[in-house]
Amino acid sequence: MTELLTAAQMRAIEQAAIESGNVAGLELMERAGQGAVGAILAEWPELGVGEHRVVVLCGPGNNGGDGFVIARLLKEAGWEVDVSLYGDAGNLPPDAKVNYERWAAMGAIRAYRIDPPPLVDDYLKLPDRFDLLIDAVFGSGLTRPFTGLFTIIALGRERLTEAGVKCVAVDVPSGLCADSGRVLGCVIPADLTVTFHRQKVGHFLNQGPEVSTKISVADIGIEGSPRSRVGAVGGCPAAPGDAIQLVETPRQLDKFNGHKYSHGHALILSGGVGKGGAARLSARGALRIGAGAVTIGCPPAALIENAAQLTAIMLTAVKDVYALNDILKDDRINALCLGPGFGVGDREKALLAAVLEHRSPGRDPGPQPAGQSQGPGSRPGLRRIVLDADVLSLLAQDESLFAKLHKDCVLTPHGGEFARLFPDIAERLNQPASTGPAYSKVDATRDAAKRSGCVILFKGPDTVIADPSGRCSINAAVYERSAHWLATAGSGDVLAGFITGLLARGFDPMHAAKAGAWLHTECARSFGPGLIAEDLPEELPKVFRTLGL
Ligand SMILES: NC(=O)C1=CN([C@@H]2O[C@H](COP(=O)(O)OP(=O)(O)OC[C@H]3O[C@@H](n4cnc5c(N)ncnc54)[C@H](O)[C@@H]3O)[C@@H](O)[C@H]2O)[C@@H](O)CC1
Ligand SMILES: Nc1ncnc2c1ncn2[C@@H]1O[C@H](COP(=O)(O)OP(=O)(O)O)[C@@H](O)[C@H]1O
Ligand SMILES: [K+]
């Protein structure tokens, strides 16, 4: 389980470690500097031999303090070191001040004012040639846009790359909000980002991956402390609910043996003639991921078209709400998917309302293993439903439909659909960030889940999944899991099918959304560039084999 931290959570954990009496803040700063130097030499072993020159840019807070430690350690290792301070030495926080003084005893410091800004003829003085730039200007304490003299580095970053200079961000690239991955003002993109104890949420959201480039996590020795995790330090203001998790290999995919109906039966409702491709993609995804049976329900006129394309997937006519209610008398149908290629007419609206209101008779499920119920028909009450694509437009247009959403629904919007469904939340998210910590995709998804009362999976390379209680995870298709070729027509339809199939298999909505998103990315990575949506379900058996299933 990989826990991601907000700045407030990290501060609380650090504070708890210091209050425990086991470690002082100054020692943590020393370890942070040592961790950064270790990560740099591990990344570029060639920097461990010969003579090199480094420019260290220190800011006015503890991030700057880490910078002074790094400057000292590199100087002791024989490097030529240039140090600049952005801010007033007299106002440095205590630990940073100690390290400022330690450095001042062994080398020079060029200091530049923040307020009022330096005169126009003052400029950032850098040596003609250097090998490494340490960006210790701002870390998790960024509260307002990064502007002023030091943004010259951000603006001239390409020239530094051309000159062969490697740029290392301490904790986060300066200008990047550690909670939201949004840029406040300007940012200094890094070649390597060294962070401490845990990765931060902002490393995975929005522009975070693009400007952090590669993350190395340095252990600063608080791992063993009893309060090193979010759950242990409790209510941090920036993090309601549980900690934010990175979605990882799903568990329990193999723990469900039995006949085909104990793997559930998914019903995918499809659109009219010539519009069935999307639902067929979803159905194929649901079947491959392990639903025991999958049926497409389409308007009668589309039966022939679908029949010509389907074999293992069953087909039934769904003319109207009466026909649908008849089908749903079969209590084995335990998961539904509505939206891909569905249409936005009156028939579709009526079907959506009927599905959202439908109650299956069910039986008492009894005790259940975490993340799974006991299969079809075992759960009384509402059906588990994935709502995607066209259905999201219907929900956006009709408040009474939106009001019928319930906790067994999973909504899978992309950015445009999210903005139609939750215009005020999207507006807040899309406004330029002017204060840190900035409103994030995690905040937006949590707010949307709370308002709708269901699980929201907000798509993108940084897919955020949240439930109404505030539980939240990120399926990150970035860094070593990058799969930008997933942005291909129809891949979202397959994702909706994956989640539906997992619901049919008895996964709870949150678990199904997380596992579906993770497997979707894994299929894309396994297939590689050139992928089209049809390839995704076909890649699942290979991914399952890799998982040892
Ligand atoms: N929390 C922890 O456990 C640890 C933190 N460490 C370091 O401490 C950092 C956090 O330190 P701080 O909380 O002091 O935060 P920062 O060092 O990021 O900076 C905060 C300071 O910058 C000012 N500031 C913020 N935005 C500004 C802007 N746009 N223009 C000008 N000034 C601005 C603030 O008023 C404040 O004085 C981390 O990123 C990390 O590098 C490490 O030493 C290791 C341990
Ligand atoms: N750059 C990217 N890297 C990884 N995954 C991506 C990227 N862009 C989009 N995706 C994923 O691809 C899928 C696209 O879904 P969607 O936008 O609904 O497309 P469609 O409607 O064509 O099916 C989503 O799962 C989304 O998270
Ligand atoms: K930094």
Q: Give nearest CA residue, ligand 2 atom 22.
A: 489
Q: Are residues 281 and 345 in the same domain?
A: yes
Distance from the CA of 509 to the center of ligand 1, in angstroms?
38
Q: From the alpha carbon of 7, which atom of ligand 1 is closest? A: 1
pLDDT band at 125 (very low <50, low <70, confident <90, very high): confident
Give the number of the ligand closest to the Cα of residue 196.
1
Q: Is residue 250 part of a domain?
A: no
Label residue 473 left, alpha or beta by phi (over 0 means left) and psi (-120 to 50 means alpha).
Answer: beta
Q: Domain boundary residue among 240, 271, 303? A: 240
Q: From the alpha carbon of 477, which atom of ligand 2 is closest? A: 4
Adjacent-strand bridge partners of 337:
268, 386
Average pLDDT over residues 25-29: 96
Q: Is residue 101 part of a domain?
A: yes
Q: Give nearest CA residue, ligand 2 atom 16.
A: 492
Q: For 366-407, what is each residue's pLDDT tens digit?
A: 344 445 544 433 445 568 999 999 999 999 999 999 999 999
pLDDT band at 413 (very low <50, low <70, confident <90, very high): very high
The answer to whether the CB of 260 is under 6 A from ligand 2 is no
Q: Give nearest CA residue, ligand 1 atom 15.
A: 141
pLDDT value, residue 21: 86
pLDDT value, residue 431: 94
The answer to whether the CB of 522 is under 6 A from ligand 1 is no
Q: Are residues 235 and 283 in the same domain?
A: no
Distance from the CA of 259 to the center of ligand 1, in angstroms?
57
Q: How far, in Å, CA of 549 to CA of 541, rounded?
A: 9
461: domain CATH number? 3.40.1190.20
Distance from the CA of 492 to the center of ligand 2, in angstroms?
6
Examine the pLDDT at 141 and tell me if it is beyond 70.
yes
Q: Is residue 486 part of a domain?
A: yes
Q: Are residues 351 and 222 in the same domain?
A: no
pLDDT value, residue 379: 46
Report the 10 Å Cβ neighbour count for 283. 34
Give the number of the ligand closest to the Cα of residue 173.
3
Average pLDDT over residues 310-319: 97
The answer to whether the CB of 371 is under 6 A from ligand 1 is no
Distance from the CA of 50 to the center of ligand 3, in angstroms?
26
Element (H, E) at 448: helix 441-452
pLDDT value, residue 407: 94
Distance from the CA of 213 to the center of ligand 1, in angstroms?
21
pLDDT value, residue 358: 86
Q: For 30-44, what is each residue's pLDDT tens digit?
A: 999 999 999 999 999
Q: From the alpha carbon of 436, which atom of ligand 1 is closest? A: 26
For the chain, the average pLDDT equals 91
pLDDT value, residue 361: 61
pLDDT value, residue 22: 85
Q: Is residue 368 part of a domain?
A: no
The answer to whether the CB of 60 is under 6 A from ligand 1 is yes
Contact 124, 96 (CB under 8 A): no
Tokens for 53, please give them: 């020159």
Examine the pLDDT at 517 and tell me if it is beyond 80.
yes
Contact 395, 402 (CB under 8 A): yes
Examine the pLDDT at 261 and tell me if it is beyond 70.
no
pLDDT value, residue 242: 59
Q: Is residue 254 part of a domain?
A: no
Q: Are residues 234 and 292 in the same domain?
A: no
Q: Are residues 138 and 10 in the same domain?
A: yes
The answer to whether the CB of 532 is under 6 A from ligand 2 is no
Q: Are residues 331 and 462 in the same domain?
A: yes
171: domain CATH number? 3.40.50.10260
Which residue has tokens 């002082």?
24
Distance from the CA of 431 to the center of ligand 3, in angstroms?
24
State which of 98, 142, 199 you would mutate to test the pocket of ligand 1, scoring each by most atoms of that ligand within 8 A of its C-beta: 142
Q: Write out the residue range of the structural domain in which residue 391 sits.
A: 260-361+375-431+438-546
Q: Is residue 182 part of a domain?
A: yes
Distance from the CA of 117 to the center of ligand 3, in angstroms?
20
Distance from the CA of 115 to the center of ligand 3, in angstroms?
20
State which of 337, 390, 414 you would mutate to test the pocket of ligand 2, scoring each by most atoms of that ligand within 8 A of its C-beta: 414
Q: Domain boundary residue among 178, 209, 240? A: 240
The answer to whether the CB of 462 is under 6 A from ligand 2 is no
Q: Are residues 228 and 269 in the same domain?
A: no
pLDDT band at 414 (very low <50, low <70, confident <90, very high): very high
Name which of 492, 497, 435 is nearest 458 in CA terms: 492
ipTM of the complex: 0.96
Q: Are residues 115 and 206 in the same domain?
A: yes
Q: For 466-481, what is each residue's pLDDT tens digit?
A: 999 999 999 999 999 9
Distance from the CA of 540 to the center of ligand 2, in angstroms?
17
Q: Is residue 302 part of a domain?
A: yes
pLDDT value, residue 119: 65
pLDDT value, residue 359: 75
Q: From the alpha carbon of 115, which atom of ligand 1 is closest? A: 31
Examine the pLDDT at 462 and tell me if it is beyond 80.
yes
Q: Give nearest CA residue, ligand 1 atom 11.
A: 62
pLDDT value, residue 241: 45
Examine the pLDDT at 364 and tell me if it is beyond 80.
no
pLDDT value, residue 376: 39
Q: Are residues 233 and 296 in the same domain?
A: no
The answer to whether the CB of 30 is under 6 A from ligand 1 is no
pLDDT value, residue 236: 43
Q: From the alpha carbon of 31, which atom of ligand 1 is closest? A: 44
Examine the pLDDT at 213 and tell me if it is beyond 60.
yes
Q: How far is CA 240 from CA 9, 174, 231, in A?
A: 11, 26, 11
pLDDT value, residue 320: 96
Q: Are residues 285 and 190 in the same domain?
A: no
Q: Give nearest CA residue, ligand 2 atom 25.
A: 492
Q: Which residues are found with C-beta within 5 Å of the ion, ligand 3?
A: 135, 139, 169-170, 174
The answer to whether the CB of 483 is under 6 A from ligand 2 is yes
pLDDT value, residue 383: 81
pLDDT value, residue 235: 42
Which residue has tokens 């961000």?
169
Contact 285, 501 (CB under 8 A): yes
Distance from the CA of 9 to the center of ligand 1, in angstroms?
14
Contact 385, 499 (CB under 8 A): no
Q: Are residues 344 and 269 in the same domain?
A: yes
Element (H, E) at 159: helix 157-162
Q: Give nearest CA residue, ligand 2 atom 26.
A: 460
Distance from the CA of 138 to the center of ligand 1, in angstroms?
5
Q: Are residues 202 and 273 in the same domain?
A: no
In the chain, how many domains are there?
A: 2
Give the number of the ligand closest to the Cα of residue 458.
2
Q: For 142-181, what is each residue's pLDDT tens digit?
A: 999 999 888 988 888 889 999 999 999 999 999 999 999 9
Q: For 68-116, what is each residue's pLDDT tens digit?
A: 999 999 999 999 999 999 999 999 999 999 999 999 999 999 999 888 7
Q: Is residue 367 part of a domain?
A: no
pLDDT value, residue 260: 61
Contact 90, 109 (CB under 8 A): no
Q: How far, in Å, CA of 111 to CA of 98, rounded?
A: 16
